[in-house]
Amino acid sequence: MRLIKAQSTNLRSIRGKGVRYDINDQVIMDSKTGMLVPKGPQRDRPFYPENGFVRYNTNTDQLEVYQNGAWRNIKFKEPNQDPGIVQQSLGVGDEVETDFGPLNSADADFPVPAAAQNVLVFVENVFQISTTNYILVQNPAGKTPGWYIRFSTAVPFGKPVTVLHNFDK
């Protein structure tokens, strides 16, 4: 009779709990409570990371993975709750100004929208259409550095400009 023993971190028995490698090159972790992944601050990330590394970043309180040459937070399927949908007032029109900002989505990972269509812009209570009524511009002359809404025509006097962020998260 031959005893075939599986590779395992449990030295006591072939059926014991622990990390095992099966004949299909699968890693099996037998636990009913959970798995603890490596964790630590950003400064403790691996010096030479490889695609597929997974760790918990204690600076950002996010699970992250190294993918395509960069560390990325793992996103969840539920709507973004951190910071969620953000309403930002950008000021009121004066019949001259066309640039309003800078935009602040309160999202440290993705502070600006990927495209103008990913923010909802209102002048008073009127929805504005991206690329028809406004575009996104970066660092307009004479303004604080950042991303701005640039309207195709000046905003009427006294009309507030409001932006809703994070629909692209």
pLDDT at site 65: 96
Write out the residue range of the structural domain in which residue 59 sits: 17-73
* 1 belongs to a structural domain: no
Residue with tokens 């204690």: 58
Residues 64 and 103 in one domain: no
> Quick one: 62 and 94 in the same domain?
no
Give the domain-ending residue among 9, 39, 73. Answer: 73
54/168: higher pLDDT? 54
Distance in angstroms (rounded) separating the CA atoms of residues 131 and 19:
54
Structure tokens belonging to residue 52? 């597929």
What is the C-alpha to C-alpha distance for residues 140 and 150, in angstroms, rounded to an integer?
Answer: 9
Domain boundary at 33, 50, 73, which? 73
**Residue 2: what pLDDT?**
56
How confident is the model at residue 23, as a pLDDT? 78
Residue 21 lies in a domain: yes
Q: Does one domain contain both 145 and 97?
A: yes
Q: For residues 92 and 145, state if they share a domain.
A: yes
Is 8 among the domain residues?
Answer: no
Residue 155, domain member (yes or no): yes
Both 69 and 137 in a single domain? no
In the block, tokens 């029109």 appear at 93
Summarize pLDDT for 106-161 with one digit per residue, the tens.
877 778 888 899 999 999 999 999 999 999 999 999 999 999 999 999 999 999 99
On whether both 98 and 139 belong to a single domain, the answer is yes
Residue 2 domain-assigned?
no
Residue 78 belongs to a domain: no
- For residues 168 and 118, the answer to whether their CB atoms sit within 8 Å is yes
> Do the domain assignments include residue 30?
yes
Asked whether residue 49 is domain-assigned, the answer is yes
Same domain for 57 and 115, yes or no, is no
Comparing 163 with 111, the larger pLDDT belongs to 163
Q: In this predicted model, what pLDDT tens digit does every residue of 22-72 receive, in sequence order?
A: 777 777 777 788 888 899 999 999 999 999 999 999 999 999 999 999 999
Does the pTM surpass 0.75? The reply is: no
Q: What distance in Å separates the CA atoms of residue 65 and residue 54, rounded to the nearest whole number?
A: 4
Instruction: Quote the number of domains for the chain.
Output: 2
